[in-house]
A and B are shown apart, each in its own frame.
Chain A
Amino acid sequence: KQEVTQIPAALSVPEGENLVLNCSFTDSAIYNLQWFRQDPGKGLTSLLLIQSSQREQTSGRLNASLDKSSGRSTLYIAASQPGDSATYLCAVAPGGTGGFKTIFGAGTRLFVKA
C-alpha cells in the first residue's frame, strides 16, 4: 500500500532564504509525482510534474527532484518570498498494478516572513 509522508509539517523562514521540502513514498513503482501549492480554503495549483523516467523538473524559482530507488522527492524553492506562503503537497500516481488512485501527503505548511 502506497503511503506518502511530507517533512516537515510546518516551516517558517525569513524572506530570501533558500529552502527544501521533502516528500517520501513507500512504493517505488510510481507513474509520476506531482507537487502542488494550496492557499487556505482554496483548490490545488499544480507546480511541477515529474514522470517516473525523469530525475528533475524546473519552473522559475522551483526545482523538484525524484529518486525512485530511495522513494524520495524534494522541492527546492530559491530566494523565498512572502507570496510563497502556502501549503505544499506532493502526490504520487501509482504505476504497475497500483491502479490510478493518486496518493497525497499531508503537506508542508510554509510561512515566509517579510
Chain B
Amino acid sequence: DAGVTQSPTHLIKTRGQQVTLRCSPKSGHDTVSWYQQALGQGPQFIFQYYEEEERQRGNFPDRFSGHQFPNYSSELNVNALLLGDSALYLCASSFGRTGELFFGEGSRLTVL
C-alpha cells in the first residue's frame, strides 16, 4: 500500500518564477492538505482540498493556489516566487477532513 508520494523532492528556482508541486494521497484517502515548514519551525497550514474544492485556507497570499483532481491527487502552485518561499512543502492526506494525517516526504524548494 503506497503512502503519500510527493514530487519533485528537491528543486531550485529564482525569484519571480513559478513552481508546481505534486502530491498523490494514500490509498483510500480523499482529502489533501498542504503545509509549509521553515527550518526549525512547525508546519504551517496553507490550504485543504476536499471534493476537488479548496475548503479552508491558512494565512498565505493568493500567490499560493492549488488544485485537486478527480483521483484525489493534488497540486500546489506558487507564483512570483520570493526568497522567503524557500521551505519544505509537505502534503498530508486523510480520510475525511478530520481524519488522521499521513504525510509525504516533502518537496524542498530553494529560491535564489
Interface positions of A (Cβ within 8 A of B): 4, 31-32, 34, 36, 41-46, 49, 89, 91, 93, 99-107
Contacts and interface: CB of A to CB of B under 8 A. Distances in A.
Nearest to A6: B42
Contacts, number: 59
Contacts of A44: 43, 90, 92, 101, 103
B100 A34 contact: yes
A43 B102 CA distance: 9
A101 B101 contact: no
Given A100-B48, A101-B48, A104-B42, A43 B58 contact: no
Specify the main secondary structure of chain A where it touches its partner: strand
Contacts of A4: 42
A105 B98 contact: no
Interface in B98-112: 98, 100-106, 108
Q: Which 10 pairs between the two chains have the least Cβ-Cβ distance?
A: A104-B42, A44-B103, A43-B105, A43-B103, A100-B97, A101-B45, A106-B42, A49-B100, A31-B98, A43-B106
Contacts of B55: 100
B27 interface: no
A42 B103 CA distance: 10
B73 interface: no
A46 B100 contact: yes
Contacts of A49: 100
Contacts of A99: 56
Contacts of B45: 101-103
Contacts of B6: 43
Given A49-B100, A89-B42, A105-B42, 8 more contacts: A31-B98, A34-B100, A43-B106, A45-B103, A101-B56, A102-B101, A106-B42, A107-B42
Nearest to B90: A43
A21 B38 CA distance: 22
